[in-house]
Amino acid sequence: MFNRFFPDRYVASTYVIDFEKLYSEGVKGLIFDIDNTLVPHGAPADERAEELFAKLKRIGFGCCLISNNQEPRVKMFNKNIQVDYVYNAHKPSTKNYMKAMEIMGTKADNTVFIGDQLFTDVWGAKRAGIPNILVKPIHPKEEIQIVLKRYLEKIVLHFYKKSLNR
């Protein structure tokens, strides 16, 4: 019942993902959510984020940010990162996941999506056929509408973790 919402992978942080390994496995494009995936909600890019994207470019990845936020927020984050982005993306609509792949010149079978929300980020990626990694949100303090979604996420993740232990 809940497994349609399960992420392909669930890790503690974006910053523990072995991107070299993904690249060696044939992944060429990465799509990232920003808020609570790369930095706390609304924050500019920090050193850790800047270093990550410098490394990803060195490895050879195409990178695209997709955010449901408006352009000023995305631009502010991207100032020292300088990758492609789609703002006001309406996740979980699949439209802008497709657009991100088009920008990077990749397909669903050589792209990975990384985000912190099950019902927007991961659900959209799944429906677009893109392998996905759910990360724990960086900052636990969130707006009320997200808090409610987190409660529902907890229920799904409970069953997800159980399914992994089987």
Where along the sequence are the contacts to Mg ion (CB under 5 A)? 33, 35-36, 116
Q: Which residue's CB is nearer to Mg ion, number 33 or number 153?
A: 33
Q: Which residue's CB is nearer to Mg ion, number 36 or number 132?
A: 36
* E strand or H helix at 85: strand 84-86
Q: Which residue's CB is nearer to Mg ion, number 35 or number 153?
A: 35
Q: Which residue's CB is nearer to Mg ion, number 77 or number 110?
A: 77
- Residue 138: CB minimum distance to Mg ion, A: 9
- Residue 38: CB minimum distance to Mg ion, A: 9
What is the chain's Cα-based Rg? 15
Residues 6+ away with beta carbon under 8 Å from 119:
5, 92, 149, 152, 153
- Residue 33: CB minimum distance to Mg ion, A: 4
What separation in angstroms does the CA of 87 have from each of 48, 72, 81, 155? 22, 9, 15, 29
> What would the two tokens of residue 76 be?
């502010």
